């Protein structure tokens, strides 16, 4: 698989480390009520869809940026690649 | 008993003398009935074994297995056929040892030649620390009634003189042997359970994809399928890599990710490897099929996938592992490779449990090691379906172990499925 890095251009997926569902960006608030349950779901439960999947890849052997890659789990086709930083900010995160 | 009758040496001779006119199909191809007491979703090894033991061991009837494709077309027909019970943790070892004991009597039990071959499995170690870890593992196995034998370098050399003992970086220092481990003809396991279940009245319904699970007041009432609605008092899900998709029908999210695992087979060679060898310094394991092909594999590809094929980097990685362990493998030509979809759980261990919906039960999270579990998984799932209580060797395989901090994490990797 080739991941089209927004800054570096097309890179072999082998340069990256895979973390999983991009929903992991939205870490629950540990002080909010119900945090224990929220963390159980966050840590252990996954949608695991067959089809489009937004997922986190880390460019370990490159510029060490985190990317959000939209990939079809049925075909391995990659349709979108974003910087995870931009995605996190668009979700209201400060960094 | 009806259908295909009893198989025996005597029968083979009799059929040979009478023009082979007495053989019948190994199972029927029935139309689905309106409703059943038990519906098992998934006609892989685990689903078929569950139906078989439900009928045979737990005396239940009105049972159907619904399979979206053909029987045994999933992982049970794609794996590298290794059986063993060399686990470390209390939650796992009694279950896998129960499974190994069932393998030992399976062919007589279901009257089918599954080529169960206890040719032994050898896990190599390359460092002192690895030897100590294997000593501990071997002791845990022995304490649970399994067999284990720690071999030194010379003992391993006597078994497999061609291994790369003097690799400068990963010298082979010995291995942990489980002589009762080995291989089984994977397809025959599906066929044997299918035939045994059919003979006991189980309806095996193929080309029947489950597209919905109906519930009423928190109770399961049946399933929607590509062949219409089928009612059921109890529904057991055993769909391996498709677990999340099927359980999504009732809005359940699982502690599971689906990943692709590849395997490889070489051209047929003369007898070379009479057991199973796993490399301790890289992702590589190998055995030789009775047809002569070297059957080998390594790690999962490492990203979510429902495509039953993998990518080049893992092909390279596995080939490198093979070259580093036994350089002569480089002279063998690769015949083919394939992939299967693994239900990778968050701690690397399976789940056999009830759900919050009455009458709906789940079996999954087998990762890349569910073939060896097939007999015990079927038995324990049938036990749960029939009695509503977990079997004594499967009490730890619960959904709530993640909530309660009771993970069964053999590798100590944490909630990262692609590392298990
Ligand atoms: C390459 C490879 C190597 C492996 N090597 C080993 C090994 O050496 N040792 C070992 O112990 N394990 C091994 N495994 C793992 C093992 O094969 C699996 O853990 C095990 O087979 C899973 O259980 P099963 O047989 O029931 O799965 P499957 O055979 O996959 O059965 C599940 C069935 O459910 C059906 N299904 C899915 N969705 C639906 C639906 N909606 N409706 C109806 N039916 C549905 C599928 O079509 C399938 O037939 C390996 C796996 C692979 C892919």
How does pLDDT run across A30-60, given as a tens digit for each residue? Answer: 999 999 999 999 999 999 999 999 999 999 9
In whole angstroms, what is the distance from residue B119 CA to residue B292 CA? 15
Mean pLDDT of chain B: 97
pLDDT values of chain B reduced to their tens digit, one per residue, 420 residues:
557 899 999 999 999 999 999 999 999 999 999 999 999 999 999 999 999 999 999 999 999 999 999 999 999 999 999 999 999 999 999 999 999 999 999 999 999 999 999 999 999 999 999 999 999 999 999 999 999 999 999 999 999 999 999 999 999 999 999 999 999 999 999 999 999 999 999 999 999 999 999 999 999 999 999 999 999 999 999 999 999 999 999 999 999 999 999 999 999 999 999 999 999 999 999 999 999 999 999 999 999 999 999 999 999 999 999 999 999 999 999 999 999 999 999 999 999 999 999 999 999 999 999 999 999 999 999 999 999 999 999 999 999 999 999 999 999 999 999 999
Round to whole Å and give the CA distance between B190 and B410: 28
The predicted model scores a pTM of 0.97
Top residue of B244, B304, B307 to mutate, by most chain A CBs within 10 Å, is B304
* Closest residue to A46, CB basis, from B257, B303, B305: B257
- Torsion angle of alpha carbons B49, B50, B51, B56, nearest 10°? 80
B182-183 and B82-83 beta bridge pairing: antiparallel
Same fold, B9-81+186-251+352-419 and B111-182+257-345: no
Segment holding B257, helix H or strand E: strand B256-268
B191, B338 contact by CB (below 8 A) = no
Cβ-contact B335, B266 below 8 angstroms: yes
Best of A44, A60, A78 to substitute, by most chain B Cβ atoms within 10 angstroms, is A44
Structural fold of domain B9-81+186-251+352-419: FAD/NAD(P)-binding domain (3.50.50)
C-alpha to C-alpha distance for B16 and B11, rounded to whole angstroms:
8
Contact A46 B311 (CB under 8 A): no
Which of B240, B249, B314, B343 for mutating ligand 1's site (highest number of atoms within 8 Å of CB)?
A: B240
| Arch. (CATH architecture) of B111-182+257-345 | 2-Layer Sandwich (3.30)
Q: Which of B319, B316, B369 is nearest to B347 (CA)?
A: B369
Q: Which CATH class is domain A2-90?
A: alpha beta
Helices B186-199 & B45-56, crossing angle to 10 degrees? 30
In angstroms, what CA-CA distances link B312 with A14, B13, B266, B282? 10, 49, 17, 17
Per-domain residue ranges of chain B: 9-81+186-251+352-419, 111-182+257-345
Residues 6+ apart with CB under 8 A from B168: none
CB contact under 8 A, B416 and A41: no
Contact B223, B230 (CB under 8 A): yes
pLDDT of B2 reads 56
């Amino acid at each position: 698989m080739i991941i089209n890095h927004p800054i570096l251009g097309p890179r072999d997926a082998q340069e990256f480390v895979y973390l999983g569902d991009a929903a992991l960006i939205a870490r629950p608030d540990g002080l909010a009520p119900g945090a224990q349950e929220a963390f159980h779901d966050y840590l252990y439960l996954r949608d695991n869809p067959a089809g489009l999947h937004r997922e986190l890849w880390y460019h370990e052997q490159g510029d060490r940026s985190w990317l959000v890659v939209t990939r079809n789990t049925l075909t391995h086709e990659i349709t979108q690649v974003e910087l995870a930083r931009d995605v996190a900010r668009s979700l209201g995160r400060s960094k | 008993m009806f259908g295909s009758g009893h198989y025996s040496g005597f029968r083979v001779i009799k059929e040979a003398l009478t023009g082979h006119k007495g053989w019948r199909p190994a199972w029927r191809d029935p139309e689905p009935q309106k409703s059943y007491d038990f519906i098992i979703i998934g006609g892989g090894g685990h689903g078929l074994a569950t139906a078989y033991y439900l009928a045979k061991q737990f005396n239940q009837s009105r049972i159907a297995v619904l399979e979206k494709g053909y029987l045994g077309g999933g992982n049970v027909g794609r794996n590298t056929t290794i059986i063993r019970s060399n686990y470390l943790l209390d939650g796992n070892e009694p279950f896998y040892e129960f499974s190994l004991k069932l393998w030992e009597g399976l062919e007589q039990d279901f009257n089918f030649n599954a080529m169960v071959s206890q040719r032994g499995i050898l896990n190599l170690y390359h460092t002192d620390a690895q030897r100590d870890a294997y000593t501990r593992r071997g002791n845990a196995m022995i304490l649970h009634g399994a067999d284990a034998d720690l071999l030194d370098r010379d003992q391993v050399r006597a078994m497999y003189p061609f291994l790369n003992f003097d690799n400068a970086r990963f010298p082979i220092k010995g291995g942990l042997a489980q002589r009762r481990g080995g291989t089984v003809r994977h397809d025959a396991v599906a066929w044997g359970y299918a035939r045994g279940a059919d003979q006991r009245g189980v309806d095996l319904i193929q080309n029947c994809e489950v597209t919905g699970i109906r519930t009423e007041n928190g109770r399961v009432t049946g399933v929607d399928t590509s062949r219409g609605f089928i009612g059921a008092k109890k529904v057991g899900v055993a769909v391996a890599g498709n677990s999340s998709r099927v359980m999504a029908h009732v809005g359940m999210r699982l502690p599971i990710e689906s990943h692709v695992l590849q395997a490889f087979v070489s051209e047929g060679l003369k007898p070379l490897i009479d057991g199973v060898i796993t490399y301790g310094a890289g992702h590589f394991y190998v055995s030789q099929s009775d047809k002569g092909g070297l059957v080998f594999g390594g790690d999962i590809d490492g990203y979510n996938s429902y495509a039953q094929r993998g990518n080049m980097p893992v092909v390279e990685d596995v080939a490198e592992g093979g070259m580093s362990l036994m350089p002569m493998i480089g002279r063998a030509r690769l015949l083919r490779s394939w992939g299967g979809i693994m239900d990778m759980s968050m701690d690397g261990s399976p789940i056999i449990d009830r759900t919050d919906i009455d009458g709906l039960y789940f079996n999954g999270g087998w990762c890349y090691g569910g073939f060896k579990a097939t007999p015990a998984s079927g038995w324990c799932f049938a036990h749960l379906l029939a009695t509503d209580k977990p079997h004594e060797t499967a009490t730890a395989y619960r959904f709530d172990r993640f909530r309660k901090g009771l993970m069964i994490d053999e590798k100590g990797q944490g909630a990262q499925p692609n590392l298990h």
